[in-house]
Amino acid sequence: MQNDDNNNPFNRLWNAGSNFSLRTLLKSSPLSSRVQSHLVRVYSALAATFGASAIGAYLQLNQFISIGSGFSGLLSLVCMLGVLFSRPTRENQNYRLAGLLGMGAFQGMSLAPLLSLSLTNFANGASLIMQALGVSALTFTGFSASALLNTRRSYLYMGVNGLFFQSQAFFGAELFIGLLMFCGFILYDTQLIVERAERGSDDFIGHSVDLFVDGISLFVRLLIILMRREDEREDRRRKRRD
């Protein structure tokens, strides 16, 4: 049975996470080795889901696949519910992994109209997308790492306040509020995953769903705000020319 598990392509993918550099990072955390191993699997699954989302968005943007954003969003929701309401057993693992990746791919397709709007309406639309993606990745990674590496969780909230008050002038009030809200979700969900893992839960697929939703929500809000601010800048430029 062990040999069959090792030959399974899905299992090889997630077991490969054992060599991921996240293990080195987690060695300095106060978490048990079992929880650390669980988190490596969670973040490996999460990375694969974000990858599926990027592929889905690319296919939809380039019209290799044509699915309405509303329908693709519905399919993503169906996949997510299928993952969350199915039992996390070894027999169901491959089906749940497929559902997780499907959720990511369909979510990416549903974001294609927003990405297309940025690319077609702004000369620097691609730069706006990359900026939103980069800030989302840095914010997500930073707050997840804070939730994992701090021994006392009360320090987390002090760190949140310090980070945001230092960056509020740069980002602006609206972005500050949105980032604060979604980073609060990231902190909460990361800590909740750790607590569940400490109590024996090994549902890395279900746990990665929570973080995926947080990450996508953060990216979407950032991109919309950046597009709005760029539109305001262009309006001011047009008024100065007139």
CB contact set of 229 (below 8 Å; sequence gap of 6+)? 172
Confidence of residue 29 (pLDDT cuts 50, 70, 90): low
pLDDT of residue 54: 95
pLDDT for res 101? 97
Give CA–CA dist 68/71, Å, rounded: 5
Residues near 14 by beta carbon (within 8 Å), at least 6 away in sequence: 41, 44, 45, 97, 204
What b/e sequence results for 216-225 when a residue is b if at least 16 CB atoms lie within 10 Å of its CB, and e otherwise?
A: bbbbbbbbeb
Domain extent listing, the chain: 2-241
Mean pLDDT, residues 199-217 = 92
Highest mean pLDDT (candidates 65-69, 97-101, 149-153, 234-238)? 97-101
Question: What mean pLDDT comes out for the span 124-141?
Answer: 88
Q: Are 104 and 92 in contact (CB under 8 A)?
A: no
Confidence of residue 22 (pLDDT cuts 50, 70, 90): low
H helices present in the chain, as ranges:
2-7, 9-15, 22-26, 33-61, 69-84, 93-121, 125-149, 154-171, 173-198, 204-241
- pLDDT value at residue 178: 65
The Cβ of residue 159 has, within 10 Å, a number of other Cβ atoms equal to 15
Question: Whole-angstrom Cα distance, residue 88 to residue 204?
Answer: 9
pLDDT digits (tens, 9 = 90+) for 159-194: 444 444 444 444 456 556 766 777 788 888 888 888
Q: Write down the pTM of the prediction.
A: 0.76
